[in-house]
């Protein structure tokens, strides 16, 4: 029978070293709160329960950003009495649990799910009651050091401020990831307050477990980057840059081309197809899928959208909550707003705004238009400056444009209105009633021409001048 697994994430500290009003674990990396990354990694192990320990002040805000994650429990640590006290708080939400518990600091967002899986299986194979994950680093300052005896056996973890001069040079440090089983839970009460800091250190558990005759071990990992903890704004920037690069490099390996891989911002939830080229200053966010062989030009932001294959998004366009099918061309300066569906080979040009509308296959709206709450068929031509007047000040109304329609430039379609299949709307028309299929609708007034008008005008002006004698 497989062993049970639960998780505790420690996020109840005050994060004073960040010098910010925002709780530490809510600081954003590539637009997502730090805690999000840790939770994501932990929940990928599918623990039967995952508890996030939060502070009294920060709790509400942390719960809010994690509200979309299923199966998370929260435990409130009344006072920030240290990581040992935080773990105890977390355990109180796991009453009666027997099995393996994985414990992580909430401030190590670079941790990978596959690393956690590896640590868990090594902990299980090692038959330890407690396993601590360590790594070596050229900058051990601030981390707890792994103290080993002459034979190389780990005997304790000591925090920065309790280190002797010689111990400060130890380069093997505690990652803040722990694996333990139910035999260790009762020992948490044995942690004593650290006299220097006045806090209960979870790291003291290591010595306590050894002294009580249970097995405790240290798993040494090689990649130090992955375990980087964030304590200061500087750490935040450094980790964000590592994270950004890690994501971009991952896509480079999957055959995505970047003109300048230093200047693109792709959230981890985004997927990109091979053969796609991405120019600088592009932001891709949320649940976004980009197809194969697309071209995404500079200054484009795409959020929560699905983009098909061979799509070209030209400079300075925004696409949010939209569906863009194969071979579409959009932009430059296109704004595709939520609820928009651009069907295959549609063309959306500069300064065109589309909201909650379907643009049919091969349909074109190339210049300066607003299309909202519209359903547009295939091979429709929307002239420059066309506006769907969808709002009457109280309610939104729909515009339906059937296949093959031609809308002349500078037309207003006052919704609700339907333009029948193959109909024409003359340029400059304000359409307030439905147009039958294959008709021409025109609402502008007839053109008037007064011949020789300017000549007459200047003659008159001359006469006036002579009369007044000036």
The residues annotated with a catalytic role in the active site are: 367
Rounded Cα–Cα distance for residues 49 and 43 (Å):
9
What burial class does residue 258 get, using C-beta atoms within 10 Å of its C-beta: 0-12 exposed, 13-18 middle, 19+ buried?
A: buried
Instruction: List binders of ligand UD1 among 429-448 (CB under 6 A).
Output: none
Instruction: Looking at residues 86 to 115 of the shown chain, list those that interact with Ca ion (rule: CB under 5 A).
Output: 107
- Residues 37-66, mask of contacts with ligand UD1 (x by CB under 6 A): ----------------x-------------
Angle among Cα 377, 381, 385 to the nearest 5 degrees reads: 120
User: Applying CB under 6 A, does 86 fall inside the site for ligand UD1?
Assistant: yes
Determine the Cα–Cα distance for residues 206 and 204; give it in Å rounded to an integer.
5
C-alpha span between 139 and 119 (Å, rounded): 23
The rounded distance, in Å, linking the Cα atoms of 86 and 99 is 19
Site string for ligand UD1, 166-185 (x = CB under 6 A): -------xxxx---------
Q: Does 83 participate in binding ligand UD1 (rule CB under 6 A)?
A: yes
Euclidean distance between CA atoms 15 and 115, whole angstroms: 26
Residue 80, binding choice from ligand UD1, Ca ion, none, Cβ under 5 to 8 Å by partner class: ligand UD1
Query: By C-alpha distance, which of 239, 261, 243 is closest to 252?
Result: 261
Total number of residues binding Ca ion (CB under 5 A)?
3
* Cis-peptide, bond into residue 332, ω within 30° of zero: yes
Length of the chain: 470
Q: Which is nearer to ligand UD1, 12 or 291 (CB)?
A: 12
Residues that contact ligand UD1, how many (by CB under 6 A): 29
Smallest gap from Cβ 243 to ligand UD1, in A, equals 16
Please say which residue, 107 or 285, places its beta carbon nearer to Ca ion: 107
Query: Biggest alpha carbon distance in the chain?
Result: 123
User: How many CB atoms sit inside 10 A of residue 445's CB?
Assistant: 7
Give the integer Cα–Cα distance in Å for 212 and 204. 13
Binding of ligand UD1 by 353 (CB under 6 A)? no
Strand partners, 428: none
Contact status: 159 vs Ca ion (CB under 5 A): no
When asked if residue 15 is in the footprint of Ca ion (CB under 5 A), the reply is no
Which range touches ligand UD1 (CB under 6 A), out of 121-129, 200-208, 365-373, 438-446? Answer: 200-208
Residue 91 or 413: the one with the smaller Cβ distance to ligand UD1 is: 91
Return residues touching Ca ion (CB under 5 A): 107, 229, 231
Which residues lie near ligand UD1 (CB under 6 A)? 10-13, 53, 77, 80-83, 85-86, 105-108, 143-144, 157, 159, 173-176, 201-203, 229, 231
């Amino acid at each position: 029978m497989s062993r049970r697994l639960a998780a505790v994430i420690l996020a109840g500290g005050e994060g004073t070293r960040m010098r910010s009003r925002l709780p530490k674990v809510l600081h954003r990396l590539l637009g997502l709160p730090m805690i999000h990354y840790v939770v994501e990694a932990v929940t990928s192990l599918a623990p039967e329960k995952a508890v996030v320990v939060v502070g009294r002040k920060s709790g509400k805000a942390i719960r809010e950003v994690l509200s979309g994650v299923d199966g998370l429990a929260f435990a409130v640590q009344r006072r920030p009495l240290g990581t040992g006290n935080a773990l105890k708080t977390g355990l109180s939400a796991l009453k009666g649990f027997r099995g393996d518990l994985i414990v992580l600091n909430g401030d190590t967002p670079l941790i990978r799910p596959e690393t956690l899986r590896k640590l868990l299986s090594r902990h299980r194979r090692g038959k330890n009651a407690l396993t601590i994950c360590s790594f070596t680093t050229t900058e051990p300052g601030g981390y707890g050091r792994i103290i080993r005896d002459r034979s190389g056996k780990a005997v304790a973890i000591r925090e920065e401020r309790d280190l002797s001069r010689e111990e400060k040079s130890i380069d093997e440090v505690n990652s803040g990831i722990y694996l333990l089983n139910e035999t260790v839970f009762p020992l948490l009460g044995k942690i004593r307050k650290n006299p220097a800091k006045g806090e209960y250190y979870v790291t003291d558990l290591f010595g306590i477990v050894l002294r009580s005759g249970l097995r405790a071990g240290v798993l040494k990992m090689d990649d130090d980057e992955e375990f980087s903890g964030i304590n200061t704004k500087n750490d935040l920037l450094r980790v964000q840059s590592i994270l950004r690069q890690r994501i971009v490099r991952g896509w480079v390996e999957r055959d995505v081309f970047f003109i300048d891989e230093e200047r693109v911002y792709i959230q981890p939830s985004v997927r990109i197809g091979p053969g796609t080229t991405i120019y600088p200053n592009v932001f891709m966010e949320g649940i976004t899928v980009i197809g194969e062989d697309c071209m995404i030009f500079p200054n484009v932001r795409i959020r929560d959208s699905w983009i098909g294959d061979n799509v070209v998004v030209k400079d300075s366009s925004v696409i949010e909550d939209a569906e863009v099918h194969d071979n579409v061309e959009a932009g430059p300066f296109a704004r595709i707003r939520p609820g928009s569906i651009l069907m295959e080979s549609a063309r959306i040009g500069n300064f065109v705004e589309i909201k909650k509308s379907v643009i049919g296959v091969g349909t074109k709206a190339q210049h300066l238009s607003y299309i909202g709450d519209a359903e547009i068929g295939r091979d429709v031509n929307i002239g420059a400056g066309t506006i769907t007047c969808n709002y009457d000040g109280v309610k939104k109304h729909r515009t339906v444009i059937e296949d093959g329609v031609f809308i002349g430039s500078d037309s207003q379609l006052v919704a609700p209105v339907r333009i029948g299949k193959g109909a024409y709307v003359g340029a400059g028309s304000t359409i307030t009633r439905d147009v039958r299929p294959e008709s021409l609708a025109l609402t502008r007034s007839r053109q008037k021409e007064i011949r020789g008008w300017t000549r007459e005008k200047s003659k008159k002006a001359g006469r006036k001048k002579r009369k007044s004698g000036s």
